[in-house]
Amino acid sequence: MKLRATYEKVEKEYTLCIDYKYEWEPREWDYPGSADLEVTEAYLNSETIPMAFYHEYIHDKVEDDLNEHAKDNI
């Protein structure tokens, strides 16, 4: 199964938007299931952030929130 969505974090000083793809296979009695989240674009105040910068400085800080957002939108 696949999901495309946008995570948005609004703060007083900035707005961070992250477009992502989330693919998962449900758990079955003989298969533990799997999930994969791929960030496709990131924006800070509507300006595109280079993906290398995103992965270097931002991803670790929002990874848990992204996964939770994806699971909430299945």
Domain that holds residue 23: 2-72
Per-residue pLDDT tens over the stretch 12-26: 999 999 999 999 888
Sign, CA torsion 63/14/41/6: positive
Q: Please tell me the total count of domains within the chain.
A: 1
Q: Give CA–CA dist 15/8, Å, rounded.
A: 7
Q: Give CA–CA dist 62/4, Å, rounded.
A: 17
Per-residue pLDDT tens over the stretch 21-64: 999 888 787 777 788 999 999 999 999 999 999 999 999 999 99
